Amino acid sequence: MKYQVNKPVKFKEHFSFFSDSSSWNGEYKKTKNGCFPSFLGNFRETSLKNYKNYIKPKSNYAEQYCYSGIYMMFFTNLKLFYVGIANDNIQDRLSKHIVKVFGSYLGQGINHTNERNNGWRYLAKKIINENTNYKLDDCYLVTINPSEKYLRMEINYKDKLQYIEKELSNQNHRLVKSIIELIDYNSTNTNWIGFNKKNKGLDHEYELLHWE
């Protein structure tokens, strides 16, 4: 199975995002449903209610490359990267992640996880404590799509994506190293940490077609 790797792009060049001006100091409240941003003992008040509206396309990038596959988010300031999969809508997944980056509370449908102690809560706390005017300037996005759209219909498609997701979660993977060299030439891959959840997935023969 072949997958097309699209060239890294700056997130903010292709998506606008909601500006959450509500008060927050980096605190979270834990419930039976997960962890959620709080302020002075209450859930953080945010005027936006639907996470799908948190980011909006500024170009045709989402239409071209966010229909299905694997996505990677790189934050150069903190040397953190996240790998995820989406069967049919990468933009939907990105919306949820950006909500977590800014510590917004849009109900208990979005759990602000903290995988491996260097996850979304860690990232959001670092941002609020170090740069209250953070605008995703250091965030890069890489999308990886099946070479043919019909491949999404395969029965084991999700399991195959999970396998590649696991492979790419290693900062020593050749593709990860090449991406880091391109977006952050002052560092090496050994300085970086991947913080996404990993599943075993389905081992299969695959080829990652590099961008030109």
Instruction: Give 85's pLDDT tier (boundaries 50, 70, 90).
Output: very high
Look at the pTM and tell me if it is higher than 0.75: yes
The closest alpha carbon to 198, from 160, 176, 166, belongs to 166
Tell me the pLDDT tens digit for each residue of 134-165: 999 999 999 999 988 767 788 899 999 999 99
Q: Give the CA distances from residue 164 to residues 93, 140, 151, in Å, rounded to whole numbers and listed in that order.
A: 17, 19, 15
The predicted pLDDT at position 49 comes to 87
Burial (CB count within 10 angstroms: exposed 0-12, middle 13-18, buried 19+), residue 128: middle
The pLDDT tens digits for 168-197 are: 999 999 999 999 999 988 777 778 999 998
CA–CA gap between residue 81 and residue 201 (Å, rounded): 20
Confidence at 132, pLDDT banded by 50, 70, 90: confident
Percent of the chain clearing pLDDT 90 (strictly above) = 83
**Is the pLDDT reported for residue 116 higher than 70?**
no
> For residues 37 and 124, what is the distance between their CA atoms, to the nearest angstrom?
10
Torsion sign over Cα 165, 77, 35, 46: negative
Q: Tell me: the pLDDT tens digits for 30-49? A: 999 999 999 999 999 988 98
Q: What share of the chain is helix, strand, coil (3-state, %, to 5)?
A: 30, 25, 45
Report domain extents, the chain: 2-209
Q: How many CB atoms lie within 10 A of CB 132?
A: 8
Instruction: Answer yes or no: is pLDDT of 117 > 80.
Output: no
Position 41, amino acid: G
**Residue range 64-80: average pLDDT?**
96
Question: Which ranges constitute the DSSP H helices of the chain?
Answer: 11-14, 61-65, 90-101, 120-130, 157-168, 174-183
Instruction: Measure the CA–CA gap between 93 and 85, rounded to whole angstroms.
Output: 8
Angle at 206 between CA 202 and CA 207, to 5 degrees: 150
pLDDT at 30: 93
Alpha carbon distance 121, 119 (integer Å): 6
Least confident span in 74-78, 95-99, 106-110, 147-151: 147-151
Q: How far apart are CA 181 and CA 163, in angstroms?
A: 24
Backbone angles phi, psi at 81, to 5 degrees: -140, 155
Run of H or E residues at 54:
none
